[in-house]
Chain A
């Protein structure tokens, strides 16, 4: 009973955290939905740990709890891979922006130098 309380409370705290982050617009919706979806699976399981025993039996896993542990690790790994992928995409985007920015700065500086030259010429002629 004590264990159920601990796991159930943890699940609820996580749920509150995600909802609060979404409410403050600190978490993009796509990630918020992912974690919310997960919590809707995790919270019932934390209250009734035996729920998965049937599925575990079917897969040849001795206890539903070990199955949850296994699935949890697989899920976390997938999330990590997804985040690396997102970071790679972001790095590519910031790289393109940096290059674009340097090109523009070079154009502006060249333009400014040219205009200064022309002005000096006009000055001297006039």
Chain B
């Protein structure tokens, strides 16, 4: 329970046996009374077993579906078990669960709340094509949503019951679909979206990519995903 609401934390995880236990334990420590669902997206390592041992409920997909498939499963679980609020948190430990109550507070007035970098808290430096891509995404999506959204690809989000109902039925499995396309889709259907500035931590495991060629490809794909999302029904 957080602010009198039944809350489910959904963690999509792919081969995160190294960090998932700490993430689950930290969430259960910081947010007592909250249920944690780890969606194992076809991991080859012991992610599911480690998460279960740390006290999470685990749903194991038979093969890798991508973040979108894992998330729709999470929202279906939240919908079937009548949770009031679903919060997505990444399995690599970069999201601080202490921000969750701040996100949940806003859910009385908004349907979807994003924990956003680049909004005052924490310090991040992103340069080159990746920065242009993020700038373009945040400009277009801010316009659509009628709110300033600085970090549209953030995987740290909280959804209320109304949003859970939609995501349980519809959640794209394609590249960037889990972040950008869901935002476009929700904003165009009149769901209210807002962001809360959060500081993100260094990942506990794994490294983010910094190659300029990859950043260019990212820009191209982001453009394509955004254009498609805008012209799709």
A residues in contact (CB < 8 Å) with B: 95, 98-99, 101-103, 105-106, 109-110
Q: Select one of A98, A101, A106, A109 contacting B77, CB under 8 A.
A: A106
The stretch among B1-9, B60-68, B94-102, B110-118 that forms the contact with chain A is B60-68
- Encode B47-58 as 1/0 by CB contact (under 8 A) with A: 000000000011
CA distance A90 to B72 in the complex (A): 18
Determine how close the nearest CB of chain B comes to the CB of A78; give it in whole angstroms: 22
Q: Which residues of A contact B62 (CB under 8 A)?
A: 98, 101-102
A-B contacts at CB below 8 angstroms, number? 36
Q: How large is the interface on B (under 10, 10 to 19, 20 to 34, 35 or more residues)?
A: 10 to 19
Given A103-B80, A106-B77; A98-B69 close (CB under 8 Å): yes
Contact B60 A99 (CB under 8 A): no
B28 at interface by CB-CB < 8 Å: no
Given A95-B173, A99-B76; A105-B59 close (CB under 8 Å): yes
B residues in contact (CB < 8 Å) with A: 39, 57-63, 65, 69, 72-73, 76-77, 80, 173
Contact A103 B69 (CB under 8 A): no
Q: Given A102-B59, A103-B80, A106-B77, 7 other A-B contacts at CB below 8 A?
A: A95-B65, A95-B69, A99-B73, A102-B61, A102-B62, A103-B77, A106-B58
Determine how close the nearest CB of chain B comes to the CB of A56; give it in whole angstroms: 38
Determine how close the nearest CB of chain B comes to the CB of A114; give it in whole angstroms: 12
CA distance A106 to B37 in the complex (A): 10
Given A99-B72, A99-B73, A99-B76; A106-B63 close (CB under 8 Å): no
Contact A98 B59 (CB under 8 A): no
Contact B57 A110 (CB under 8 A): yes
Contact A102 B39 (CB under 8 A): yes
Contact B57 A106 (CB under 8 A): yes
Q: Select one of B57, B58, B65, B80 contacting A98, CB under 8 A.
A: B65
Q: Which residues of B contact A109 (CB under 8 A)?
A: 58
Contact B61 A98 (CB under 8 A): yes
Q: Select one of B73, B80, B173 contacting A102, CB under 8 A.
A: B73
CA distance A103 to B69 in the complex (A): 12
CA distance A109 to B59 in the complex (A): 9
Contact A106 B59 (CB under 8 A): yes
Determine how close the nearest CB of chain A comes to the CB of B75; give it in whole angstroms: 10
Closest 5 CB pairs of A and B: A106-B59, A99-B73, A102-B59, A102-B61, A98-B62
